[in-house]
Structure 1
Amino acid sequence: MFQSIIEHGSFRAAAKALHQTQPALTQSMNELEKMLGTSLLIRGPRGVVLTEAGKLFEPRVKLVLKELERAVNEAKQLSTNSRGTIELGSSSLPFFTMLPSAVQRFHKRFPQVNINLTEGQLSELLPTLREGKLDFVIGATSPETVLTSDFIKEPFFTTPFAVVARRGHPLAQSTSLSQLKEAKWYLPTAKIGYYSELDALLFPEGEQKAQTIIRGDTAATALQMVINADFLTVAAKELLQVPYLNQQLCIIPIAEPLPDATYSFIYSHRLPLTMVAKTMIDKLHRECKNYPWYSKVEQ
């Protein structure tokens, strides 16, 4: 009830959503606040406002409800007609490689389990994971990537990266980063992970005013900017093995090697993985072994 009031912004809207009367909801909230010995909500002209105690209580309530939902899902998943949902966040490379096949194999075993996929970089996926809205995340990290203690990082695989352009780009035959000073770049908006440490390598003198650098976090936008607007980007070399992309993209043969990226499964330390989430991770491991660049990172 407390969570519903916050989500809907008022007692009236929450009561309607819960199919209860407003006085009954008010009475329940009064009993909760009496039990806690403090007020959680204040009714204002624009709806309810959280008190300081309410602001502390609300994120804990989210985690408790999410864990209860996971418990219910996992109990259901033990039946032969397993149901439930997997919430998976990932950067773009798995979407182009092993993820579709892993999902296909997973659904042969669990046809009634829903899978919700979210594309993004670690900097935007980790807050959602922390809130319990994702079961696990697949992201590119580096040895310097440090995560807070509420996350577990399970290494997945390593893969080489390169500077990528469209075929026929004026700078496509460049052999050093110094020759790319006038290039236009499309790079992820990454505050942590692999991409966050590339700026010092790509722009040793810092970002210059004359340079055009656009940042975003979806593969679709990156490909459009590279293919149709002559931007350069940094991507996994494996991306050029995708049939409809290898005819349009090329690797710029710069002498300076880019560091390999280590992809990891990341999940919450406080919220244990469900049985179906563990199964999905196992399917991804199995599918990844089909790629020649696959090299499992020892934990």
Structure 2
Amino acid sequence: MSRLPTTTHLRMFRAITQHGSIRAAAKALNQTQPNINRYLRELEAILGVKLMFGSTQGIALTDFGRCFEPRVASVLRELELALAEIQQVSNLQQGSVSFGCSHLKVFKFISNAVSTVQKVYPQANLSLYEGQQSEVLPLLQAGKLDFFIGITSKAISLSDLVEEPLFSCSFGVIARQGHPLAHATSMAELRAAKWYLPIADAGYYNELESLLFPVGVKMQHSILKGDSITVAEHLILKADYLSISPMMIKYIDSMKDLFCFIPLKEKLPVGHYSLIYRQQSSLTPLVQFLIKEIHKECRNDIAVNKEQM
């Protein structure tokens, strides 16, 4: 290859793959269709292969195009991070960070860390995504998130990621105060209950589901699944659903008087929370600062410390 593609070539290619056609890409980039076509032809000439072809559905990638597309996304993401890092170094008030977390509402240390970051970076853009590890990791691996905080599991490989352990936490079956099954002592007594559980194809919650509802055990209600704590709270308080939750809720003033944990003789596995980010990713000063604050606030969090005793 006599020369490398320019960032303009890469941006044009990404726009076509994202929007599905040259016409839509031109509109998104405020360019003319001939310009987009010209850059595409130049890019294919530089690479010496055909990247895409027209189809009834718009534009379709060739095998070369499918191979090239994730690399382009990664290159452009790293360039965007580099520009953001330079901007942050020159002006500490700006920058952006996007991260995911399971049980976001339960952990006060995260909101404390975010508050500190907003004081130091008053113009920073912070985006939070709530979800379970199996659902969020693809976003992290694709570079759409800077890091994730959640329960790790041996069932999900973290070989290409960096894991920084935060703390361990007990889990239990949660119900509203006064629930008819609030004093049950065995899982067998809960078979007829209505359940709301997090969506998880693999990992901690998938393992819990197998433990709580073994193959062959009949349930009187189908299990409702979702990743919204707000929906979970409503179903537990208003419709007598049961769910699984970190027992740290017992230390949250606004929640401890509304919910209770059923005193089952069967103990659920402890959840081990970690902070996870991509091994190949260069963390910007803002992201590094937020991670540092999360570790600090986590060490000082009363609920976390009580769980470690």
TM-score, with length taken from structure 2 = 0.89
Q: Which of 22, 30, 33 is 1:11 aligned to?
A: 22
Contact 1:2 1:29 in 2 (8 A): yes
Match for residue 277 of structure 1? Answer: 287
SS in 2 for 1:289: helix
Bigger proportion of residues as helix: 2
Alpha-carbon distance in structure 2 between the residues aligned to 1:295 and 1:277: 25
Contact 1:183 1:212 in 2 (8 A): no
Query: For each residue in 1:98-146, what CA deviation from the matched residue of structure 2 results, as whole angstroms up to 9, or x when unmatched?
Result: 111111111111112110001111111011111100000011124x344
The alignment status of 1:229 with 2:245, answered yes or no, reads no
Query: For each residue in 1:149-200, what CA deviation from the matched residue of structure 2 results, as whole angstroms up to 9, or x when unmatched?
Result: 2222211111111110011111000112122121211111112332121123
Match for residue 74 of structure 1? Answer: 85
Given the superposition, is the C-alpha separation of residues 93 and 44 from structure 1 closer, same or farther in structure 2, using an over 3 Å criterion?
Answer: closer
| Structural RMSD (CA) | 1.9
| Equivalent residue letter for 2:279 | H
| Equivalent residue letter for 1:284 | I
Contact 1:96 1:242 in 2 (8 A): no
Alpha-carbon distance in structure 1 between the residues aligned to 2:219 and 2:172: 24
Q: Which runs of 4+ in 1 moved over 6 A?
A: none
Of 2-11 and 125-134, more deviation after overlay is shown by 2-11
Match for residue 127 of structure 2? Answer: 116
TM-score, with length taken from structure 1 = 0.92
Alpha-carbon distance in structure 2 between the residues aligned to 1:193 and 1:209: 22
Alpha-carbon distance in structure 1 between the residues aligned to 2:25 and 2:70: 18
Structure 1 unmatched runs, 5+: none
Q: CA deviation at 1:206?
A: 4.5
Contact 1:87 1:117 in 2 (8 A): yes
Query: For each residue in 1:72-117, what CA deviation from the matched residue of structure 2 results, as whole angstroms up to 9, or x when unmatched?
Result: 1111111244422101111114654211111111111111211000
Of 243-252 and 207-216, more deviation after overlay is shown by 207-216
Given the superposition, is the C-alpha separation of residues 272 and 94 from structure 1 closer, same or farther in structure 2, using an over 3 Å criterion?
Answer: farther
Of 227-236 and 271-280, more deviation after overlay is shown by 271-280
Contact 1:169 1:230 in 2 (8 A): yes
Query: For each residue in 1:29-48, what CA deviation from the matched residue of structure 2 results, as whole angstroms up to 9, or x when unmatched?
Result: 10110111111111223321
Alpha-carbon distance in structure 2 between the residues aligned to 1:154 and 1:191: 23
Match for residue 4 of structure 2? Answer: none
Contact 1:76 1:82 in 2 (8 A): no
Contact 1:92 1:218 in 2 (8 A): no
Match for residue 175 of structure 1? Answer: 185
Number of aligned residue pairs: give it: 295
Match for residue 94 of structure 2? Answer: 83
The alignment status of 1:151 with 2:161, answered yes or no, reads yes
| Equivalent residue letter for 1:63 | S
